[in-house]
A and B are shown apart, each in its own frame.
Chain A
Amino acid sequence: MPCRDAGRRSVAGVTALRRLEAPTGLRSGDHVFWTFASASDFSAAVLPFLDEGRRLGEQLLLTGASRPALIDALESLPQRDEMLASGQLEVRSVTEIVDPARGLEPVEQVQSVRSEVEAALGRGRTGLRVAADVTALARRGPDERRQLHVYERLADAMTATVALTAMCLFDTSLGDEVLGPIAVLHPDQHHGEREPLGYLSGRGPWLSLRGELDAGLADAVLRALVDVARDSPGEVVLDLADLQFLDVAGARMLATAASLLAEIGVDVRLVRARRLVGYCLELFNLADGQAVPT
């Protein structure tokens, strides 16, 4: 069926992109991007999210810049103090998790979250639910953001396979240029009034682009794609089977990404494009299934 309402489709085994209206109704495997504009905005997202986890018997973890501020933000969370006392709820500052001197180490960090999930299950919890205000890391600079993109991709893939529900929170003051590439690395997006169009997924055997990639999203996907693919020497396969729309600007972005990556020894292979997507790829000699010429 052509031109359906893209991004709403749910296919067994495939995580579809969706716009998240409320921070609830979430289960293991969900990986949420959420922006906030104020402290009350932040609480309004985090409280229902964590309270839902409490009711589900999950281990709860909240991280952010300042531990006291985070505790304050949880003031109206039911059973906050009891959960802090029992250890069901933990609150940590980012500096406890990421050594400021070393910066974010994506592989190590993902492994550490995975261990926390196992520990939560070992304590008899039904899973781990994490709300992380990552604003401080995103603010540091381009290198740190690159690491953050790599981390988000690995974390997204991991979230699909363990008893983890994750919400990554970002202050809207970071601006679209910073937030755009981070948003597209999440299947569940709440980005103010913006309608999420695309998702660069690390779930499954290949990287895949899902949703609609048009001129408005091209820069964000370019940055995310180059960052997550650059450390994979050899070939990176990008699955386009769930990409429902691609325009000239989006195809130009894919050609640009392919050429940037080729310069550092990474060959991008685009596979399973639908006919409409193929029209635009053809304009840039990006043939489906073949190595991208450089």
Chain B
Amino acid sequence: MTSSRPTGEWDGTGFAHEAFVFGTDEELVDRVVPFADEGLSRGEPVLVVAGERVRTLLGEALGSDVARLATFTAAEEWWRGGHRTLHAYDRDIRALRKSVPSWRLAAEPVWLAGEDGREWSRFEAVSNRCYADMPYYSLCLHDRQRLPTPVLDAVARTHPLTWGGDAPIAAGAYDDPQLFIRSARPQWYERPDRASVGAVVTPKDARQMVCAWVPDEWRPRADEIVLATHELVTNSLRVSPAAELASWIDGHSLVVEVSDHGPGLSDETLGYVPPADELNGGRGMWLTWSLADDAAVASNPAGTGIRLYFHR
């Protein structure tokens, strides 16, 4: 053993992303308190965002050191849907990056326990790619008693590090972010015959067409549906003279499909990557994915199709 540091070989220059799944109070305290202590002793900002159980345990264990934490806040209030939650988080860590060389975070995404919070695993997956240069250690805390098995499986597949007992180790179940996204999104199936279908050559045509297709039950969401579709069509028309639109109802979702004969998406994770600061950075996919409840992508040599799902 060369190291028993709570952050292993992490040298503070890049992103380390560990999933720590705990059962007992003792397990949690034994992992997080040395992690926090090490940060405090190095003068590194230590941030803790967690649910009530974890906050109570850490509050007792850290004692007066709690006051030395850069943040010690309740995770329960953070959830505002995946995109909004990540966007707010992203602003915070960009601000941190401007002010300190490195930091560490112990975070418990308590919303993973709820049905609507499960999409968070996709953001966890993509963070491994888009935050690769961010100089912080993210210790993600997951309560085995609160989280269902499929969520714990997703946790294992989206964190490259796990706790080996006395040091962080590479997680065997870790998946490439793009593979994880592909497995998490809705299955692609053949477009039903009942779908409305039309071709468009301008974004304005697309807006009018999809607006006319929005059924009454989805009217309250028509603005979002039109804007999301518009952004996909604008992208399509950059590489293709025309785009095809289709729409149908699938259970509780309205599906809007935009397809073209272009080369497809260079990176299927972009819908989960928060916008960069510079003006020219892409934002269309982030916006589209945030407006829709879910999205599926299919690429083949003949072209690319993207389906957006909007719940009623």
Contacts and interface: CB of A to CB of B under 8 A. Distances in A.
Given A214-B234, A247-B231, A283-B287, A276 B224 contact: yes
A215 B232 CA distance: 12
A275 B223 contact: yes
Interface in B182-241: 202-204, 207-208, 211, 214, 219-220, 222-224, 226-227, 230-231, 234
A247 B234 CA distance: 10
B163 interface: no
Nearest to A246: B227
Contacts of A256: 279
Interface residues of A, number: 23
Interface in A260-292: 275-276, 279-280, 283-284
A256 B281 CA distance: 13
A259 interface: yes
Interface residues of B, number: 25
B286 A3 contact: no
A98 to B, nearest CB: 36
B207 A3 contact: yes
Contact of B204 (A214, A249, A255): A214
B291 A279 contact: yes
B212 to A, nearest CB: 9
Most chain B CB atoms below 10 A, which of A197, A214, A248, A280? A248
A216 B211 contact: no
A252 interface: yes
A283 B202 contact: no
Contacts of B222: 2-3
Nearest to A253: B279
B45 interface: no
Chain A: interface secondary structure? Answer: helix
A30 interface: no
Contacts of A245: 207, 226-227, 230
A255 B279 contact: yes
A212 interface: yes
B204 A212 contact: yes
Nearest to A195: B204
Contacts of B280: 252
B118 interface: no
Contacts of A284: 279, 283
Interface of A: 2-3, 5, 195, 197, 212, 214-216, 245, 247-249, 252, 255-256, 259, 275-276, 279-280, 283-284
A-B pairs, 10 with minimum CB distance: A3-B211, A2-B222, A276-B223, A2-B223, A3-B226, A283-B283, A248-B284, A3-B222, A248-B283, A215-B234
Given A3-B211, A283-B283, 16 more contacts: A2-B226, A3-B222, A195-B204, A212-B204, A214-B204, A216-B204, A245-B226, A247-B203, A247-B227, A247-B234, A248-B283, A248-B284, A259-B279, A276-B226, A279-B227, A283-B275
